[in-house]
Structure 1
Amino acid sequence: MHNCDPISIYRTPKNANKDFELENGPNPEMQYEEGSNGKIYFGEESVAGEYQGRGTFAPGMIRYDMHPSFLKKFGDTAKRYDWQGPGGSPRIEFEIPFGRLEEFNSLTLKRTWLPMKGR
């Protein structure tokens, strides 16, 4: 990958937040919802895909194209999600604290809605 290429990460929003998130990024009001742990989760496409259409989650996901410096600035938020990647490799997710949302949004180049396959 050339060092100027955007980094793509994915997120399946709740139905109620989908339109806001596509336009503005994650809704900071979510931090006050019951059950919030103060973090917003993004991951590889396969990780975000697990949540599509489940319960209150939207039937699709948002691809975030991030500035190349995203990995340097947010590398400390990367966590192993599981070992279900190709050949048993780890799948990664990013746990972004709400307190860093403004910085995260400043690195977002583009947001694209990807409907759930088969819908």
Structure 2
Amino acid sequence: MIGAVSWKLKLTCASSTEAELYAISESIPRIANLSHLITEICGYQPTRTIYSDSQSGIASIISKDAGILKNKFYGIRLLKIIEETKDNGINIEYVNTKENIANILTKPVETKTFKELTCDWIS
């Protein structure tokens, strides 16, 4: 059984890039734990990938963005992301916003887009 909890965060980000970096950093331990669980149960190592539709967030991670590194809290978070993704063998890849399935849970999407993203769910 896998459970989840959701809560409203009391965090203010100065930019969408900072918000995306926060979300990525919160995802890393969950990805590592679920990967370990799948390995224990199924006997194989699943692909460890975090998909993001934030090109600036991914670029910050790859280039170690100096502007964000100057920010005390997000600079630390960015360096932590870089270290943890390397240590846990996690890849961070870009996914086009129109192809991002997570958007149906977080953003208003057009009916056509919703149907395209969920067509494989119903047999």
Structure 2 length-normalised TM = 0.28
Structure 1 length-normalised TM = 0.29
Q: Which has the higher strand share?
A: 1
Q: Which has the higher helix share?
A: 2
The one of the two structures with greater contact order (alpha-carbon pairs below 8 A, sep at least 6) is 1
